[in-house]
Structure 1
Amino acid sequence: MNLSSQLHETAKASADKIAYYFLDKSCTYAELDGAITKFASGLEKLGVKQGDHIALLLGNSPQFVISLYGALRLGATVIPINPIYTEDEIGYILKNGDVKVVVGVDLMIPLAEKVHRLLPKVEHYIICETEQNDYKEKIVEELSVYSKMKSFTEVITSGDISFQGPTLEDNDTALILYTSGTTGKPKGAMLTHKNLYSNAKDIGDYLKINHDDRVITALPMFHVFCLTVALNAPLLSGAAILIVPKFSPKEIFRLAKQYEATVFAGVPTMYNFLYQYSDGNAEDFKSFRLCISGGASLPVALLQNFETKFNVLISEGYGLSEASPVTCFNPLDRPRKPGSIGTTILNVQNKVVNELGEEVPVGAVGELIVRGSNVMKGYYKMPEETAAAIKDGWLYTGDMARMDEEGYFYIVDRKKDLIIVGGYNVYPREVEEVIYNHHDVVEAAVLGQPDPNQGEAVCAYVVRKNLELTAEQLLEYCKEHLAKYKVPSSIEFLEELPKNTTGKILRRALKKQVTHS
């Protein structure tokens, strides 16, 4: 079984069940499955074959869902790309990923005009119109790229509703997700049909997602957290998704109340924005049975403040692109532990090891490694990087963690973010947790900077809600709650912290920002 065939089975069994809501319009499973089938057939008529690579340059929309599942039904490999990437970033992925077809909004036309000569392998650009007028009216020059353009509507209309896709093997590559490339060029994690299906099913079962759920899908669909937890798992379970084109607290509160949403998935920054939103109240969220946090560590102070204000529970989990992505989640049938990423989910193994790959004692810090049917087959065209990441079937995550006596895991920090002060290890998250506890702090990020005496110094960058808060006051607060070597040597106040499109605070981007300022 795979994602697309399971959706087809759901459509046959529950044809009139609502699959999604978008801009207050609904679509049934039968309607969605029909569009997916016709899109797959339309791709085939364009000459797309099983194994070809299709890039999606789309935001949260029905077109993303149809393109994703349609390409999978044809047996093509999908490469989701953040549509706000720069030309160079997009061009690199399209070239490195050997992309044959690009699906994107009409705003992509200028990009196609600029890069198409460098991308001879791209045979088709499928344009999803964002306005009523025909995208061809935007074309002012006659270039060879225009002969490669088709509208999304044209492709679906040309498709055959009776299309039968090829037989798909579990180990066929379904998705290539390019990592953010914090250390060099992005790497393409190859996820198979088995990887995607198993992780979506396992996390759906673990979180008890069912056909009565209405899941707010506000995370970016091109990101693996959303793909598995807020898109694939709900659709596998026959639930309805509420597609949010762009995150805004006002819209989340409206959708939650109007549609009696039951599940919300977000990253810590989203929860912070919702918590700070003055017009939101607990009554709007009364239908929620579950809130999910991932993508980055959720500060315990924010978790507790949010839960108190809105009377809902947040379950924190953990994952990474190379694991499709979920490996751990706080269980629903046992006590949840604030600050923990929870316990191992079904059909996955996690353990904490030392530099030699040996499991460390309970409570000790080491690198988290993962094994299971969710782990990628490797990085696209990067055998050396694959060998470094996967050893004896175990995926080395690069995250430092510890496990308690009850099997709950705690992420201490990224291995690369460790700060060594005078020989002592300082984990940025530990310092950030203390700073977040101060009632006048909105956000915080901690970095290591070179220090001639101690090797490295702890530096904190803070967004404050009370402009009267001084660095000296916050330093005194830190001294009360941290060992001396963990106390920041400096605190700088910023108006905002750099984030990626999922809202994750980017420490490396911050380091570049402060270095060049």
Structure 2
Amino acid sequence: MNLSSRLSQTVKDFGDKPAFIFEGKEMSYLQLEEAINQFASSLHDLGVKKGDHVAVILGNTPYYVISLYGALRAGATVIPINPIYTMDEIAYIINNGDVKTVVTLDLLIPLFDKLDAQLTKVEQIIICETPSSESEGKVDITKQSIYRKVKPFATMLSRGSVSFIEPELDEEDIAVILYTSGTTGKPKGAMLTHKNLYSNAIDTANYLKISKEDIVVTTLPMFHVFCLTVSLNAPLMNGATLLIVPRFSPDAIFKLTKTHGATVFAGVPTMYNFLLQHEDANPADLSTLRLCISGGASMPIALLKGFEQKFKVVVSEGYGLSEASPVTCFNPLDRPRKPGSIGTEIMNVKNKVVNELGEELPPNQVGELIVKGPNVMKGYYKMPEETAHTIRDGWLFTGDLARKDEDGYFYIVDRKKDMILVGGYNVYPREVEEVLYDHEAVVEVAVLGVPDPNFGEAVKCFVVISNAEVTEKMLLDYCKKHLAKYKVPSSIEFLEELPKNTTGKILRRALKDQVLQK
């Protein structure tokens, strides 16, 4: 079984049910299945063979769902790419990923025109028409030199067969290659097999009790692994309906959730913060939600409690990473939820906290989190040394520092590489951030280590505040009341906003670069 064949089974069970809602329009499971077959059929007619690489460079639209599943059904390997990446970033992934076919928006054709000479392996570019509401900036494709490679998405559907039969796929075949953000160097392509993605989607759907009754708000970027599994694949496996939101905004979430009676929302902590802080936030607008899911970064306890108290809905925090398809832990729905915890391991996945020698540590000792299961990637594309370093004896070494309590609940302490060493003492950024988040004037905070001539490293904070009268001294005095002396920040810098990536995750690297440039 794989994502494609499971979807076909879902179609047999819930063919007339809406698979997704987008801009007020619905597409049934049966209609989606037909579109997927048509797209897969046309890919096959273009010469796309089993194992060929297809890049999908799209935002949250029906195009993405059809392209993803259509390419998988054709036997191709999908490489999702963030459409707002720079020209160099896109070129690197396409070339490193040996991409032959690209699916993208017509707005990006000028970019591919400029890259044409560099992308020697790209044979065709399938373009999706930008919605009329976003027509500004459209170009006349016929005047682009790359026009010879262009195939309209609409033509692909109209010419494809609804009765396409997919090639035989092995569960160990590569389904998707997800390129990591590359914060420590060039992006690495995590090779996820059909088994990896299918097992994690099913296990996540069952763990969160997602059913045909659910309407899942799909506003996380579809090209990101969090959305791919939790907000896209998992709901489709169990017959739920996707409420596709092109881009996150509090106004859109409040309106669409209320209008369509959405039941599940998944987001990163920054999204929850925006919803909580929004001046027009009305708890009634989210009253149909039965479950909120948080991941992508650790959620401050103050934010979690504040959101739950205001909107009267449980937030289940989980944990995952691209290399694990991504989910390894979630707070359980049938047992007590522990604020600050990423929960317990999901079914079929094992999690351990180990020391530098790889030996499991007793409860409440901090070490590196390692995971094992059918969701763990095959390896990094064309990077055998990195693969061997990251996967050892079947265990994926995450690079995250964690601890496990006596009840089997895991807690992320921090990224191993983000730990700050102050005069020989370990300082975990999250611990300092949690203290500052408890201050009523702090809206957002990021903590990192900076060079210090006396102690090796010092703690520096960047904060966004809601009260302009709050000073650095006031926040430092607050920290001194709640933190050991060596954990107290050496300085606090006020910003209008913190730099974030497209998923809303705070970019510590950008802040560190800012410090080093001064």
Q: CA-to-partner distance for each residue in 1:269-288, whole Å, 9 max, x for gaps?
A: 00000001111211111111
Contact 2:22 2:244 (C-alpha < 8 Å) held by counterparts: yes
SS at match of 2:63: helix
Q: Which amino acid aligns with 1:85?
A: Y
Q: Which amino acid aligns with 1:8?
A: S
Residues 353-408 of structure 1, C-alpha deviation per residue, up to 9 Å, x if partnerless?
00000011110000000000000000000000000000000000000000000000
* Structure 2 equivalent of residue 485 of structure 1: 486
Quote the residue 1:354 is aligned against: 355
Residue number in structure 2 paired with 1:265 = 266
Q: Distance in 2 between matches of 1:265 and 1:472?
A: 37
The 2-side partners of 1:142 and 1:312 are apart by 51
What whole-Å deviation, never above 9, does each CA across 1:117-153 have from its counterpart, x for those lacking one? 11111000000011559x996136452x211001100
Q: Percent identity?
A: 69
User: CA 1:285 to 1:136, structure 2 compared with 1: closer, same or farther past 3 Å?
Assistant: closer
How many angstroms apart in 2 are the aligned matches of 1:11 and 1:470? 58
| Aligned counterparts of 2:247 and 2:65: Cα–Cα separation in 1 | 16
State the shift of 1:10 in Å. 1.3
> CA distance change for structure 1 residues 463 and 152 in 2, over 3 Å: closer, same or farther?
same
**Residue matched to 1:11:** 11
What is the RMSD computed on CA atoms of the aligned residues?
1.3
Going from structure 1 to structure 2, the CA distance change for 1:142 and 1:426 (only over 3 Å counts) comes to closer
1:500 matched to 2:501? The reply is: yes
Shift of 1:256: 1.1
What SS class does the counterpart of residue 54 from structure 1 fall into? strand
Shift, 1:490, TM fit: 0.4
The within-5 A match list for 1:336-485 is 336-485=337-486
**1:109 matches 2:86:** no
Of the three residues 132, 139, 142, the one matched with 2:141 is 139
Q: Which residue of 2 aligns with 1:331?
A: 332
For residue 118 of structure 1, give the secondary structure of its aligned residue in structure 2: coil
Cross-structure match for 1:216: 217
Deviations 1:232-266 (A, max 9, x none): 00000100010000100001001111111100000
Q: Is the 8 A contact 1:42 1:157 kept in 2?
A: no
1:288 lines up with 2:289 in the alignment = yes
CA contact (8 A) 2:107 2:138 kept: no
SS of structure 1 residue aligned to 2:116: helix
Single out whichever of 111-120 and 231-240 deviates more from structure 2.
111-120
**Are the structure 2 counterparts of residues 142 and 479 from structure 1 closer, same or farther at C-alpha, using a change threshold of 3 Å?**
closer
SS at match of 2:451: strand
CA contact (8 A) 1:325 1:374 kept: yes
Letter in 2 for 1:429: R
SS in 2 for 1:459: strand
Equivalent AA in structure 2 for residue 138 of structure 1:
D
Equivalent residues of 1:463, 1:496 under 8 A apart: yes
Partners of 2:139 and 2:72 in 1: how far apart? 31
Q: Which amino acid is 2:359 matched to?
A: E
Aligned to 1:320: 321
Preserved CA contact (<8 Å) 2:113 2:144: no
Contact kept? 2:106, 2:138, Cα under 8 Å: no
Using the TM superposition, name which of 281-290 and 404-413 deviates more: 281-290
Q: 1:217 to 1:137 in 2, by over 3 A?
A: closer
1:339-359 superposed Cα distances (whole Å, 9 cap, x missing partner): 000000000000000000001
Looking at structure 2, the residues matched to 31 and 187 of structure 1 have their Cα atoms a distance apart, in angstroms, of 36
CA distance in 2, matches of 1:379, 1:166: 25
Alpha-carbon separation, structure 1, partners of 2:302 and 2:10: 41
Post-superposition Cα deviations, 1:388-434, rounded to whole Å, max 9, x if no partner, equal 00000000000000000000000000000010001000000000000
Contact residue 56 and residue 78 of structure 2 kept, 8 A: yes
What does 1:22-101 correspond to in 2, within 5 Å?
22-101=22-101
Shift of 1:212: 0.3
Partner of 1:184: 185
Contact 2:344–2:408 (Cα < 8 Å) also in 1? yes
Structure 1 portions without partners, runs of 5+: none
Contact 1:22 1:61 in 2 (8 A): yes
Read off the aligned partner of 2:392 and give its amino acid letter: K
Q: Report what 2:127 is aligned to.
A: 127
**Residue deviations 1:142-171 (CA, integer Å, cap 9, x gap):** 52x211001100111110111101011100
Structure 2 counterpart of 1:39, which letter? F
Q: Counterpart of 2:151?
A: 150
For the 8 Å contact 1:106–1:129, the answer to whether it is kept is yes
TM normalised by structure 2 equals 0.98
After the TM superposition, which segments of 4 or more aligned residues of structure 1 sit over 4 Å from their partners? none
The SS at the match of 1:117 is coil
State the AA in 2 paired with 1:218.
T
State the number of aligned residues: 516
Supply the distance in 2 between the matched residues of 1:12 and 1:352 (Cα, whole angstroms).
Answer: 43
Q: Deviations over 1:22-41 (max 9, x none)?
A: 00101100000100000000
> How many Å apart are 1:513 and its aligned residue?
1.9
* Corresponding residue SS for 2:176: strand
Aligned to 2:304: 303
Q: Distance in 2 between matches of 1:412 and 1:451?
A: 23
Q: Distance in 2 between matches of 1:219 and 1:281?
A: 21
The whole-number CA distance in structure 2 between the counterparts of 1:451 and 1:275 is 37
- The answer as to whether partners of 1:195 and 1:375 remain within 8 angstroms in 2 is yes
